[in-house]
A and B are shown apart, each in its own frame.
Chain A
Amino acid sequence: MRISRRSLLVTGAGGMLAGCDAAVRSPTVQSVLARGDDAHRFLQRSVLDRTSLAREFRADQMSPRFRVNGTANPGTPDYAAHVASRFADWRLTIDGLVARPLSLSLADLRSMPQRAQITRHDCVEGWSAIGKWQGPHLARLLDLAGLTPAARFIVFHCADAIGGAPYYESIDLIDAWHPQTILAWAMNDAPLTVGHGAPVRLRVERQLGYKHAKYVMRIEAVASLAGIGGGGGGLWEDRSGYEWYAGI
């Protein structure tokens, strides 16, 4: 009697794991689970202070070595030419649902009011690194361009591609206007290296690393994320199903 119960338990546990794996592949289960991400975003947006600042650290608390992650070099001829000319001819385009589309040089970005911040970068994989970032507020750039009332998301189009698909990311206007959301052209008091996203990368400090788009070439204001890339609001969202809201 006891033996059979025990083997029943063991078989049951094995069956449950197999059952879980079958469930993992079910689209219904996937869509139910995705509601969990929505719930987290809803709870964070409704319970927490939307203007709260990510912690800033002292210079002596920085990571001795900040690892490069994702694309280490976009490797395209266009990008290589920009690197060779030290981004002298590079222009950042700001367009979409804006009153005044802009084309800004790196010198333009450097001459604008700056914010420098020493913050913790959290990769979705689990590691963290602390570094110093400097650049103009994204809000300042968007104010210059003048968003139209229909704009709801800001999309960042990048020079790199992963698996043949161009990298892009998007954030909502709450994070776009957050005081720590900057377009960083400097890291640890030096111009951004190619590995870390030269000439500029997005810093959106209350979200995970994959939202911090590197090699930003174009910023687009849109009403909906449908029709951009796979419609998920970012390359990793489209490719692997990572959460669009990465504050979790």
Chain B
Amino acid sequence: MEPAAPPRTDDAPTGPQRIYRHGPFTRIWHWINAVTVIIMIASGLMIFNAHPRLYWGQYGANFDAAWLELPRFPWFVTLPSTYSLAIARHWHLFFALVLAFALAIYMIGSLVNRHIQRDLRIRRRDLSAAHVRADLKAHWELRFHDPARPQAYNLFQKLSYVGVIFVLLPLLILSGLALSPGMDAAWPWLTDLFGGRQSARSVHFIAMALTSGFIVVHLTLVILAGPFNEVRSMVTGWWRVPE
């Protein structure tokens, strides 16, 4: 899937060093997923507005104890902006298919082209106390790249990308499937996995909140690291090593 990496351009000693950082497979998935996740969150918040209470267990409705009850989300974060559960469901269910199949293809493709093993695998040395401390300190000082290996992801990047790709997104998909009465009948293990449909709905909401948290941190760091260079690298693949 991923072409042979073009030569690292150290033949231009006067200009800044450029690195081919993101393969086309990663870039295409990133943008499909970015649009999809934003649509999923916005339409999901509208769906949540239809019954803004969350429960644990198999059942839960107005007379049952909710562990979380929120005011309705405002118009500027919901899709559509005015109340329509039906339209929100159309968007949510359509893009659920995009989210799930794109993620499955990306996971398989990135294992085959070894992106995951090469760039996202958390190695033993990443986890040594000294390394974690050094990474933390570097983050705190807004130094995001190891000058010796600028293209390598640091521990926190690896943890967050692995967490989103292998934990949060699959959790969102599985807990979303568990909300479907048709799926529940055919695959009862789906509801069992979460301890009931209302628990699955709560997990779905929590995973959405964590994903939203990831997006906020991700965008903040893109801005801090130099948004033009970062966005360009996710469009063209080429990333300029900060000086």
Contacts and interface: CB of A to CB of B under 8 A. Distances in A.
B42 interface: yes
Contacts of B86: 236, 240-242
A67 B63 CA distance: 7
Nearest to B82: A21
Interface in B48-100: 48, 50-51, 53, 58-64, 76, 79-81, 84-87, 89-91, 93-97
A120 B97 contact: no
Q: Which of B47, B84, B181, B183 has the most CB of A within 10 A?
A: B181
Interface residues of B, number: 50
Given A2-B227, A24-B80, A36-B97, A126 B47 contact: yes
Contacts of B188: 55
A247 B181 contact: yes
Given A49-B186, A242-B86, A54 B181 contact: yes
A240 B85 contact: yes
B62 A20 contact: no
Given A126-B50, A128-B61, A242-B86, A54 B185 contact: yes
B63 A64 contact: yes
A20 B198 contact: no
B180 interface: yes
A27 B228 CA distance: 36
Interface of A: 1-2, 5-6, 9, 16-17, 20-21, 24, 30, 32-37, 39-40, 44, 48-49, 52-55, 57, 61, 63-67, 120, 122-130, 205-208, 236, 240-243, 246-248
20 contacts: A2-B226, A9-B219, A20-B42, A30-B87, A32-B94, A35-B94, A37-B90, A44-B180, A44-B183, A44-B186, A61-B58, A63-B59, A66-B61, A67-B61, A67-B62, A120-B58, A120-B59, A122-B197, A128-B198, A248-B180
Interface of B: 38-39, 42, 47-48, 50-51, 53, 58-64, 76, 79-81, 84-87, 89-91, 93-97, 179-188, 191, 197-198, 201, 219, 223, 226-228
